[in-house]
């Protein structure tokens, strides 16, 4: 089984999902993530395939939303640190 993630951040949800899937006794279980934020990791999980390692920045676009906006952009953008997200 290949579990495909858009982004791995703290890993709490991913750890829970992996534990659940392991109870089903798959022949193999691998994780693939487009983006990996190692700096934010709170729970260690195996990530077998990583597209890009990224710093601890808020990203949006290419399926990732920013307050329900900009999910449909054909690229991944980074929020500037001085931007206030209220009223986006």
Catalytic positions: 9
Question: Residues 6 or more apart from 7 whose CB is under 8 A from it?
Answer: 33, 34, 35, 36, 37, 59, 64
Q: Give residue 88's Cα distance to chain centre.
A: 22
Stretch (H or E) spanning 34: strand 30-36
Three-class secondary structure of residue 72 per DSSP = coil
């Amino acid at each position: 089984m290949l579990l495909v993630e858009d982004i791995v951040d703290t890993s709490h949800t991913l750890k829970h999902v992996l534990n659940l899937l392991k109870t089903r006794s798959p022949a193999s279980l691998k994780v693939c993530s487009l983006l990996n934020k190692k700096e934010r990791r709170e729970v260690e999980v195996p990530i077998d395939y990583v597209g890009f390692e990224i710093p601890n920045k808020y990203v949006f676009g290419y399926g990732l939303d920013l307050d329900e906006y900009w999910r449909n952009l054909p690229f991944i953008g980074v929020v500037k640190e001085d931007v206030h997200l209220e009223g986006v």
